[in-house]
């Protein structure tokens, strides 16, 4: 898994200067929490649903091997094949092999973050196959040669005029007038993609859940593109992470209720499809060949560690939509497929801390990610875990390490602590004007560049406490 996460600071600065991006992200911040809350309010006691979902995910993770093997057996009984991939390269080789056996020239795909994680498109293209993304957002960014900037809305960063310009450049079509309206663009993309669907030799989808008791694969979309991808070509390949298995259909139902509400404020996604193996004799359509590729790629290393709870994630994106850092800088700044708070924990888990060391610091620790997570993942606790590892491995910048050493030393001596704090309180008061400090010197300058600070009391809390307690004793 390739990342540019080490450039987070630089990419975040560029993103902060991009006004168009800030407008798009402002909409996420404004709209997504409102629609999520109103959808969850329709559930009686949503917190109890979160508890049930989190307990169900924990039960599954505690016996992940058992449920995965049960799923494999069921798929085989249904006439499908299950492949186990230890890492991205192995997964790509397996998928390319299946495509080559099917004589594939054109491969259609529905949105799958796992295939982004393993960079499947580039791999298949290097084997002379044409890969066509069929989710509208993915299709737009594929034409633009970009990465997704959000796990649910991959083209969130692209404006309407940029979409029009992209279609004008890539679609070889005669038009009466240039594209302006979203519906016109949608219809054009749909017409182009219809041809691709019909000419595809292999369809590749992800999976939202795998049901161990039935061998079913659950896929949700709002466009129906996954259904066409899965059912029109003669070969269907499902690619997903090992953590996506759930024990029963009832568990899948529980997750689906929370997924659609947390993701897009819907009671249920527009299309929820359950696929059980290849076409049966009595079926009028569907693929003859059905394969499921189960990817590990670092996930099993997280089991039994302090990161295990991250594997509960159902990729709803609620934590991303509520994160003040994500809504300021967007997904590309994170330099990996997974962005926002979940990405800041997951990316170092999958790619290694050396490849993503800045991400656990991309947080204000406001705790909203944990609050909104429908499977109760304690994201701030995990970010602290990664920061500890970073400190232990001396990956933290020297200035921070020395600063923390100095802070520890100061806190170990009450006398030094009190006198330094007293000096700081007086100095800060001296810097204020009309009740506010608008400019701090030294490293404090970054803080006051974007915000003012109310004038402090000029005395420490302890000093004031001693003084008022003394007065209370006199009265």
Q: What whole-number distance in Å separates Cα of residue 30 and Cα of residue 327?
A: 10
Nearer to ligand SF4, 185 or 220 (CB): 220
Sheet with strand 245-246: strands edge to edge: 245-246, 209-211, 216-221, 271-275
User: H or E element: which one contains 83?
Assistant: strand 81-85
Q: Least distance from C-beta 403 to ligand SF4, angstroms?
A: 31
Q: Tokens representing 401?
A: 């390490």
| SS3 of residue 239 by DSSP | strand
Closest CB to ligand SF4 among residues 384, 439: 384
Our CB check for ligand SF4 shows the closer of 11 and 318 to be 318
User: Between 32 and 104, whose beta carbon lies closer to ligand SF4?
Assistant: 32
CB of 313 to ligand SF4, least distance (A): 3
Q: Minimum CB separation from ligand SF4 for residue 87, in Å?
A: 22
325: nearest Cα among 313, 334, 312: 334
Residue 230 in tokens: 């899965």
The token pair that represents 289 in the structure block: 């060949």
Q: Which is nearer to ligand SF4, 200 or 255 (CB)?
A: 255
Binding site for ligand SF4 (CB under 6 A): 262, 313-319, 342, 372-375, 377
Cβ neighbours of residue 252 under 8 Å, at least 6 residues apart? 209, 211, 216, 218, 246
CB-CB contact of 162 with 326 (8 Å): no
The answer to whether the Cα torsion of 397, 402, 403, 408 is positive or negative is: positive
| Residue 41: CB minimum distance to ligand SF4, A | 17
Q: What CA–CA distances, in Å, run from 132 to 94, 143, 196, 257?
A: 19, 10, 7, 30
Q: Tell me the C-alpha distance between 210 and 420, whole Å.
A: 58
Shortest distance (Å) from residue 324 CB to ligand SF4: 15
Rank residues 118 and 319 by Cβ distance to ligand SF4 and give the closer one. 319
Closer residue to ligand SF4 (CB): 140 or 375: 375
- b (16+ CB within 10 A) / e for 280-302: eeeeeebbebbbbbbbbbbbeeb
Helices 249-264 and 19-41: crossing angle in degrees, nearest 10, is 130
CB 275 within 8 A of CB 217: yes
Nearer to ligand SF4, 225 or 262 (CB): 262
What is the rounded CA–CA span in Å between residue 209 and residue 217? 6
Q: Between residues 215 and 241, which has the closer beta carbon with respect to ligand SF4?
A: 241
Q: Residue 322 CB, nearest distance to ligand SF4 (Å)?
A: 8
Nearest approach, Cβ of residue 120 and ligand SF4 (Å): 21
The CB-of-152 to ligand SF4 minimum distance in angstroms stands at: 9
**Is residue 110 within 8 Å of residue 205, measured between CB atoms?**
yes
Cβ 286 to ligand SF4, closest distance in Å?
31
**CB of 189 or CB of 319, closer to ligand SF4:** 319
Residues 6+ apart with CB under 8 A from 349: 298, 301, 302, 307, 310
* Alpha-carbon span 248 to 9, nearest angstrom: 43
CA distances 56 to 41, 142, 254, 310, 327, Å, are 22, 36, 9, 14, 30
User: Can you tell me whether residue 237 is helix, strand or coil?
Assistant: strand
Residue number, 197 or 338, with CB nearest to ligand SF4 = 338
d(CA 34, CA 28): 10
Tokens of 81: 């094949």
CB of 128 to ligand SF4, least distance (A): 36
Shortest separation between residue 349's beta carbon and ligand SF4, angstroms: 12
Q: How far is the CB of 340 from ligand SF4 (least distance, A)?
A: 7
- Give the nearer residue to ligand SF4 in terms of CB position, either 70 or 258: 258
């Amino acid at each position: 898994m390739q990342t540019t996460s080490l450039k987070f600071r630089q990419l975040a600065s560029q993103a902060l200067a991009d006004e168009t991006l800030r407008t798009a992200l402002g909409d996420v911040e404004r709209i997504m929490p409102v629609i999520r809350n109103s959808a969850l309010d329709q559930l009686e006691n949503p917190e109890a649903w979160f508890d049930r979902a989190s307990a169900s995910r924990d039960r599954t993770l505690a016996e992940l091997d058992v449920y995965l093997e049960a799923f494999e057996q069921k798929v085989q009984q249904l006439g499908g094949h299950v492949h186990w991939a230890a890492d991205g390269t192995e997964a790509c080789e397996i998928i390319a092999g299946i495509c080559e056996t099917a004589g594939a020239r054109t491969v259609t795909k529905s949105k799958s973050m796992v295939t982004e994680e393993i960079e499947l498109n580039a791999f298949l293209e290097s084997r002379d196959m044409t890969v066509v993304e069929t989710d509208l957002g993915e299709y737009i960014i594929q034409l633009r040669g970009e990465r997704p900037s959000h796990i649910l809305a991959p083209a969130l960063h692209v404006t309407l005029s940029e979409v029009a310009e992209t279609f004008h450049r890539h679609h070889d079509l005669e038009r009466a007038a240039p594209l302006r309206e979203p519906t016109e663009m949608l219809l054009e993309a749909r017409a182009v993609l219809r041809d691709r669907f019909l000419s595809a030799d292999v369809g590749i989808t992800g999976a939202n859940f795998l049901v161990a008791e039935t061998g079913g694969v659950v896929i949700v979309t709002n466009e129906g593109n996954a259904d066409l991808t899965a059912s029109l070509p003669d070969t269907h390949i499902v690619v997903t992470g090992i953590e996506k298995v759930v024990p029963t259909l009832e568990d899948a139902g529980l997750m689906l209720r929370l997924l659609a509400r947390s993701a897009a404020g819907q009671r249920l996604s527009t299309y929820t499809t359950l696929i059980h193996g290849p076409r049966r004799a009595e079926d009028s359509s569907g693929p003859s060949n059905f394969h499921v590729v189960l990817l590990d790629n670092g996930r099993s290393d997280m089991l039994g560690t302090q990161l295990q709870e991250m594997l509960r994630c159902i990729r709803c994106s609620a934590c991303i939509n509520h994160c003040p850092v994500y809504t300021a800088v967007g997904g590309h700044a994170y330099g990996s497929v997974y962005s926002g708070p979940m990405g800041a924990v997951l990316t170092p888990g999958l790619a290694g801390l050396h490849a993503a060391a800045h991400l656990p610091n991309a947080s204000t620790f406001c705790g909203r990610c944990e609050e909104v997570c429908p499977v109760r993942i304690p994201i701030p606790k995990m970010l602290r875990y990664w920061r500890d590892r970073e400190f232990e491995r001396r990956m933290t910048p020297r200035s921070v390490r020395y600063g923390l050493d100095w802070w520890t030393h100061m806190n170990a001596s009450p006398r030094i602590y009190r006198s330094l704090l007293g000096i700081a309180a007086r100095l800060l008061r001296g810097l204020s004007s009309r009740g506010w400090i608008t400019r701090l010197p030294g490293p404090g300058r970054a803080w006051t560049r974007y915000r003012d600070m109310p004038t402090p009391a000029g005395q420490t809390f302890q000093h004031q406490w001693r003084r008022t307690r003394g007065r209370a004793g006199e009265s």
